[in-house]
Amino acid sequence: MLVLSGLILGCDESASPAKDTVKQSLFGNQDAMVVRNLDADQIKRGEAVYVANCVNCHGQNGEATAEWRKAGPDGKYPPPPLNGTAHAWHHSTEVLKKTILDGTPPEYGSMPAWKDILTEQQVDDVIVWIKSLWPDEIYDVWYKNFENAD
């Protein structure tokens, strides 16, 4: 099921990780919120890639369809939201990138493979743009679970 949820993700961050930092309280509290440091130029490039390639399925602002958890008559899942309201943030950058490059297994979804269409840099850029959509709390949980895991 975990693999399936990762694969029905749909149209993710750069090969070089963002320079995010964890704000610590005066007492060194490691549970403080992560402060994002996403590259503004990369976000802008990623948005352009997204608009040109992903918007028809995932929506203008990554909102996709309300029924994304429900398989259609063909047994395939519709594109999920990417804006922090679905499960994209439940996956590492590597899983997100693999899903974009390879697409979803045809029995689970209709997302095509983008590896022969988009460059690796374009994929990295669109992942950063998607992450920029996530609310701070969602990004914080994602970062602490995937990018800053021990």
Q: In order along the chain (150 residues), what is the average pLDDT of each group of 10 residues? A: 39 42 45 89 98 96 92 93 93 96 93 97 98 96 82
The tokens of 95 are what?
Answer: 């899983």
Question: 2-12+36-147 architecture in CATH?
Answer: Orthogonal Bundle (1.10)
34: CB partners within 8 A, 6+ apart: 20, 21, 22, 23, 139, 140, 143, 144, 148
Give me the pLDDT at residue 30, please: 57
**What's the whole-model pTM score?**
0.78
CB-hemisphere CA count at 13 Å for 115? 9
Please check whether residue 80 is in contact with residue 9, taking contact to mean a CB–CB distance below 8 angstroms.
yes
Give me the pLDDT at residue 149, please: 59
The rounded distance, in Å, linking the Cα atoms of 79 and 85 is: 13
